[in-house]
Chains A and B, each alone.
Chain A
Amino acid sequence: MTNTTTNAKVPFWLNPDKRAIIFQIMTFVMVGLLALYLVDNTLTNLEEQNISSGFGFMDKEASFEIGESPIPYSAADSYSRALLVGFLNTLKVSFLGIILCLIIGVFVGVARLSTNWLVAKLALIYIEVMQNIPILLQLFFWYALFYEIFPSPQTALNPMDGVFLCNRGMALGVPASHPVHKYMILAVIAGMILSVIISRWARKRQNATGEIFPVLWTSVGITLGLPFITWLMAGAPTEMNLPSLQGFNFRGGIMLSPEFIALLLGLTIYTSAFVAEAVRAGIQSVSRGQIEAAESIGLRSAHILRMVTLPQALRIIIPPLTSQMLNLTKNSSLAIAIGFPDFVSVANTTINQTGQSIEGVALIMGCYLIFSLTTSVFMNWYNKKSQLVER
């Protein structure tokens, strides 16, 4: 009796391995042909419209003004400089937005779980309303509030000392610049480094002798105390640089444009609702038994929070939180709708002036891809680190 399965010749289209190779080759050929067709069309069209391709335009003079810029910029600068300004503006608004939305989001998320009925319901309303209204609409709303509802600088609203709200934006009082500020920042950094050293030393000592050192309070004390001492040593300067009305606008202090505030406010409020949901889900995911177990081995409530609840909750919270941070950064591209000069907005102006639409859109996509790739590298690292080690 012969073994038919080994002897019979299997036709190549029934062999899964060969079939897979053929299928892949076919797919690539099709995708390649499509790409070739599109590129060919594009090149023909560009040639007809007399648009040269390439990034040569980047060095040409931009000749458009940008409303606000963290670095010196004038219309005589190059397009690359203008795009850098846009990039920095995107970074600025995203960075501030991320910090603010984390603070508000954690606060609302905890309030959502409060045993106080009123507070919990208010947090719920906040989350539901803000999540379900498109961010673009929220941006338009905040922007309209500034340019339509708020009065002119002469009759600016003054809700707090040193804060003025008007249709030109928000004027804020800041401490008058003083050489000691530089040293205070250095003192904060020194305090942080010292805290790290102390916590290492304390852990080593605890491992060796079992004695506990109050690391948290010492660190907070050092990080805040050092700059405070520096400030006292410099004679405790309290002079403020307050905005004051001169002519038609405010002088002094910091002037934040309505576009910037509307964008920051919209991004922060919208994203904080999602952050709050992530925080709530994370805290609720820690099972009651974990906390009871911690209580039964005699941990204090502060220790339970720090050593039992938070490490487990954070493992659940961090991944959605990072994707929300990324969403905030991507949503900052809507700045173009209210006229804040972020990267997309500057790139769009560049496209309109030079006609280099492919390069412009490629720059926009590349810029955001950098953000998201960095984030996903971080996420992979974190997921690997925080995976449950099961015994």
Chain B
Amino acid sequence: MAQIEIDRDYIATLKPPVIKRGVVGWMKDNLFNSVFNSLLTIATILLLIKVVPPFFQWAFIDSNWFSGSDVCRDSEGACWSVITKNIRFIIFGFYPYELHWRPFSAMMILFALLFLSNDSKYWSKSLGYGWLAGLVVMGILMKGGILGLESVDTMKWGGLPLTLLLSVFGLTAAYPLGVVLALGRDSRMPGIKYLCITYIELIRGVPLISLLFMSSIIFPLFLPEGLTINKILRAQAAIIFFTAAYIAEVVRGGLQGMPRGQYDAADSLGLNTFQTMRLVILPQALKIVIPPTLSVLVSAFKDTSLVVIIALFDLLKTSQTVLSNPKWMGFSPEMYIFVALLYFLGCFSMSNFSRKLERQLDTDKRT
């Protein structure tokens, strides 16, 4: 019998045919795997060629970054100087110029806390206390009046710190309220249950703007004579009441996901209702709903932009104020692209984080 000599070492050094590897293989698999897909690819590329290079030219090559507005008007490209020349007003609004370091450091504290919370291995009680302390320090930095800091009227707060404050404090205060509402909705007591259902459905059924109107025009009527609450706090309250209803629904989803056996087990240990909730049900239910809670935070962050309509100077309003200056009139696309970028970075990183968490917390699927 003839022996066929196979040089296995040689075969191992051979590479697969060029059509199966590298750029060409990838393109064949992902861009030209059928006639229809090939046509689609070509059409898309043609469209991109038509759109992307002119945009690139406008945004980067012909653009002005630090010139005055008169140079911008003669230029074909984007005028990014509308942002660079006004950056401090856009970010801090009417906050006293020489005190800008205070909102700046408040934001830095917030970012540092967010950065630490980003990794679930740092999650601990001390981080929770860190958040509480951080929020207090941020409040003191913004308001001043103690520790030798000059007091700053809240009417002067504005820009990015205001946007961040409204959303962070909004969520922090709305969260406990939302949990209470969710527990109330699941309660066996019909009176409590329907009270909570009415609240949740009422709030979820109306747009945020109607609540903001309520806070800015009706709320002052509710208060006894002589007592006034400032505008930012009223808007903050509206955002809290609005967000709480959405949190309640998210938490309710988590509560409903708890198996009956958990309640039975807690009962058999002799825990009362309060202990059952605090020690057994809520820790598990709240863990499940962390990702959807984050998406509530994302919408709350986006929704804070609505305070523009009741004339609070948040990030969007400060940028519009710059645009209403005759010197910078007409550069809205540049400005709005910049603000959109800020919002996008915030929302995108949060939703990415929530997706990452979802994978991490998904401990049930371990095999």
Contact = CB atoms under 8 A, between A and B. Distances in A.
Contacts of B213: 348, 351, 357, 360-361, 364
Contacts, number: 159
14 contacts: A42-B222, A44-B225, A48-B225, A118-B31, A132-B302, A132-B343, A133-B343, A141-B332, A144-B332, A145-B333, A331-B207, A357-B217, A364-B210, A372-B206
B321 interface: no
Interface of A: 20, 23-25, 27-28, 31, 38, 41-42, 44-46, 48, 114-119, 122, 128-129, 131-138, 140-141, 144-145, 148-149, 330-331, 333-334, 336-337, 344, 348, 351, 357-358, 360-361, 364-365, 368-369, 371-373, 376
B202 interface: yes
B305 interface: yes
Nearest to A44: B225
Interface string B210-250: 10011001101111110000000000000000000000000
A119 B343 contact: no
A348 B214 CA distance: 11
A372 B204 contact: yes
Interface string B185-205: 000111110010000011011
B33 A20 contact: no
Contact of B192 (A27, A133, A148): A27
B305 A115 contact: no
A371 to B, nearest CB: 8
B204 A41 contact: no
Given A137-B340, A368-B207, A118 B41 contact: yes
B145 interface: no
A144 B44 contact: no
A113 to B, nearest CB: 13
Given A133-B343, A141-B336, A337 B224 contact: no
B303 interface: yes
Interface stretch (B80-88, B169-177, B344-352): B344-352
Give the dominant DSSP class at A's interface: helix
A137 B336 contact: yes
A20 B40 contact: no
B330 A134 contact: no
A160 B205 CA distance: 41
A144 B333 contact: yes
B30 interface: yes
A24 B37 CA distance: 64
A48 B37 CA distance: 72
Contacts of B308: 136, 337
A115 B191 contact: no
B276 interface: no
B306 interface: yes
B320 interface: yes
A380 to B, nearest CB: 12
A373 B201 CA distance: 9
Contacts of B302: 132-135
Contacts of A336: 209, 309
B44 A365 contact: no
B316 A45 contact: no
A369 B207 CA distance: 9
Contacts of A133: 302, 340, 343-344, 347
B305 A136 contact: yes
A336 B227 CA distance: 30
Contact of A364 (B30, B195, B206, B330): B206
Contacts of A337: 308-309
B339 interface: yes
A41 B221 contact: yes
Nearest to B45: A118
A351 B340 contact: no
